[in-house]
Amino acid sequence: MATLNPMLLAALLWVPVRTLTCYGDSGQPVDWFVVYKLPAQSGPGKAAQSGLRYKYMDKDSGGWRDGAGSINSSAGAVGRSLLPLYQNASQLAFLLYNDQPPKPSGAQDLSSRGHTKGVLLLDQEGGFWLVHSVPRFPPPTSSAAYSWPFNAQTYGQTLLCVSFPLTQFWKIGRQLTYTYPLVYDHKLDVAFAQKVPYLEDVVKGHHVLHGPWNSSVTLTSKAGDTFQSFAKFGKFGDDLYSGWLAEALGSNLQVQFWQNSHGILPSNCSRDQHVLDVTQIAFPEPAGPAFSATEDHSKWCVAPEGPWVCVGDMNRNLREEQRGGGTLCAQLPALWKAFQPLVKAWKPCGENRTFFP
Ligand SMILES: *[C@@H]1O[C@H](CO)[C@@H](O)[C@H](O)[C@H]1NC(C)=O
Ligand SMILES: *[C@@H]1O[C@H](CO)[C@@H](O)[C@H](O)[C@H]1NC(C)=O
Ligand SMILES: *[C@@H]1O[C@H](CO)[C@@H](O)[C@H](O)[C@H]1NC(C)=O
Ligand SMILES: *[C@@H]1O[C@H](CO)[C@@H](O)[C@H](O)[C@H]1NC(C)=O
Ligand SMILES: *[C@@H]1O[C@H](CO)[C@@H](O)[C@H](O)[C@H]1NC(C)=O
């Protein structure tokens, strides 16, 4: 009787361990990706009309690509990456935080908390940090399935997912003691709480108690790309971009943020580095689309002369000077080449008109 070759047997029995990372739009593990959910009425077709289409990019995508399907699909980059939350999370740790939590979670909107939204999902080897702008998202794990909230269909939204080894999560946890997030769902067993200090503090709602009220750290992704996290507590009391980021990055910044609230801060050229409010966004022709910042709830900035891009939590308005929050920046050529051309118009300093280059 033929016996199985031991090598073949091993191959047959080997079940690939699903590593916990960000997943790209074709279902492959990726080190990081950005998804830009487009505003409603951004093109022909039902999905584009109702605001369920998105653009996708990662290091190897060669710039922006049309999203594989609807942002509501669990087969796309965002849904696929978050899937472990809604399957068997017994071996995992996670924190879901949002200043506008999903309604069924029972948590309240607390405006003393940071203006910050995201997901930490990790196993014993590492996982990812998803930084995003989406209100009432993602659904709590009790929902048993990924879905995109109806309330976040109309406007543009950004999501940045970065895969990190376990060693980076204590630094991320420490940043979250500055941003002071509202955690509406979590799982953090003792084993994780010991390995990743600060996360338990964050879950319990502890925050920094003495200045300095801002903190910046370098984070290294699983594949070795460098990210810089900027985090501020409410007592920082200044705009993230004009009061810190532009100087820290040593560059002028064009900032896309939600412009439909009270107390919007005008473009600011009072310091060496200028901070300019973006008013028009356009994806490259022929596909486009182009839209106004008033249709866009996303929060990102780009150094027009390079090489920085940041995706994060904060708008430029008076209220958010007194709130926690932050942004995740990188100087990666692929990222900058994708974001730099998106800025179609901005407000010059001291003028009301919009500048179209
Ligand atoms: C979840 O996974 C753990 C270990 O991987 C297993 O013991 C448990 O039975 C699973 N639970 C479900 C509901 O599949
Ligand atoms: C997303 O999918 C779920 C499940 O199929 C559905 O109930 C929900 O209405 C969809 N949401 C949107 C915004 O289309
Ligand atoms: C410009 O930004 C700095 C730092 O945030 C702030 O102190 C100053 O008041 C701002 N100037 C104007 C004109 O808004
Ligand atoms: C905090 O922000 C100020 C600018 O407002 C900056 O000079 C300082 O270096 C920052 N502190 C840290 C710890 O990053
Ligand atoms: C901008 O418009 C406002 C309101 O219309 C006006 O009060 C202000 O003087 C204008 N500022 C400049 C610099 O033109």
How far is ligand 5, taken at its centre, from the CA of residue 269, in Å?
Answer: 17
pTM of the model: 0.92
Query: Average pLDDT for residues 205-214, to the nearest whole number?
Result: 97
Predicted confidence at residue 45, as pLDDT, reads: 84
The residue count of the chain comes to 357
* Residue spans per domain, the chain: 32-347
Query: Average pLDDT for residues 129-148, to the nearest whole number?
Result: 96
Query: Average pLDDT for residues 168-193, to the nearest whole number?
Result: 96
Q: Which residues contact 224 (CB under 8 A, 6 or more apart)?
A: none
Sign of CA dihedral 245, 249, 252, 256: negative
150 in ligand 2 pocket by Cβ < 6 Å? yes
Predicted confidence at residue 124, as pLDDT, reads: 93
Predicted confidence at residue 103, as pLDDT, reads: 76
Burial pattern 282-320, b for ≥16 Cβ within 10 A else e, equals: ebeeeeebebbbebbbbbbbbbbeebbbbbbbbbbbeeb
91 in ligand 1 pocket by Cβ < 6 Å? yes
How far is ligand 4, taken at its centre, from the CA of residue 27, in Å?
Answer: 39
Predicted confidence at residue 146, as pLDDT, reads: 97
Predicted confidence at residue 309, as pLDDT, reads: 98
Query: Average pLDDT for residues 224-247, to the nearest whole number?
Result: 98
Residue nearest to atom 6 of ligand 5 (CA): 352
Ligand nearest to the CA of 267: 3
Residue nearest to atom 10 of ligand 5 (CA): 352
Catalytic residue chosen out of the listed positions 115, 132, 274, 297: 297
If you compute the radius of gyration of the chain from its CA atoms, what whole number of angstroms results?
Answer: 20
Query: Average pLDDT for residues 339-357, to the nearest whole number?
Result: 85
For the stretch 5-14, pLDDT in tens is 665 555 555 5
Residue nearest to atom 2 of ligand 4 (CA): 244
What are the two backbone dihedrals, phi and then psi, of residue 135, each rounded to the nearest 5 degrees? -65, 145
How far is ligand 4, taken at its centre, from the CA of residue 155, in Å?
Answer: 32
For ligand 5, which residues put their CB under 6 angstroms from it? 350-352
How far is ligand 5, taken at its centre, from the CA of residue 267, in Å?
Answer: 13
Task: Report the percent of the chain where pLDDT is more than 90.
Answer: 83
Query: Average pLDDT for residues 133-152, to the nearest whole number?
Result: 95
For the stretch 256-300, pLDDT in tens is 999 999 999 999 999 999 999 999 999 998 888 999 999 999 999
Predicted confidence at residue 1, as pLDDT, reads: 45
Ligand nearest to the CA of 352: 5
- Residue 350: which pLDDT band, with cuts at 50, 70 and 90? confident
Is the pLDDT at 119 greater than 60, yes or no? Answer: yes
Question: 231: phi > 0 → left, psi -120 to 50 → alpha, else beta; which?
Answer: beta
Predicted confidence at residue 12, as pLDDT, reads: 53
Mean of per-residue pLDDT scores for the chain: 92
Is the pLDDT at 323 greater than 50, yes or no? Answer: yes
- Residue 224: which pLDDT band, with cuts at 50, 70 and 90? very high
Q: Are 94 and 187 in contact (CB under 8 A)?
A: yes
Predicted confidence at residue 287, as pLDDT, reads: 80
Bond before 289 cis per omega within 30 degrees: yes
Q: Is 186 a catalytic residue?
A: no
For the stretch 91-103, pLDDT in tens is 999 999 999 999 7
Q: Are 316 and 238 in contact (CB under 8 A)?
A: no
Ligand nearest to the CA of 275: 3
Q: Which of 175, 210, 214, 235 to mutate to test the pocket of ligand 4 (most atoms within 8 A of CB)?
A: 214
Predicted confidence at residue 15, as pLDDT, reads: 47
How far is ligand 3, taken at its centre, from the CA of residue 261, in Å?
Answer: 19
215 in ligand 4 pocket by Cβ < 6 Å? yes
Is the pLDDT at 322 greater than 70, yes or no? Answer: yes
Predicted confidence at residue 153, as pLDDT, reads: 96
- Cα–Cα distance between 281 and 259 in angstroms, integer? 13
What 3 state SS string does the chain have?
Answer: CCCCCHHHHHHHHCCCCCCCCEECCCCCEECEEEEEECCCCCCCCHHHHCCCCEEEEECCCCCCEECCCCCCCCCCHHHHHHHHHHCCCCCCEEEEEECCCCHHHCCCCCCCCCCCEEEEEECCCEEEEEEECCCCCCCCHHHCCCCCCHHHCCCEEEEEEEEEEHHHHHHHHHHHHHHCCCEEEEECCHHHHHHCCCHHHHHCCCCCCCCCCEEEEEEECCCCCEEEEEEECHHHCCCHHHHHHHHHHCCCEEEECCCCCCCECCCECCCCCCEEEEEEEECCCCCCCEEEHHHECCCEEECCCCCCEEEECCCCECHHHHCCEEEEEECCHHHHHHHHHHEEEECCCCCCCCECC
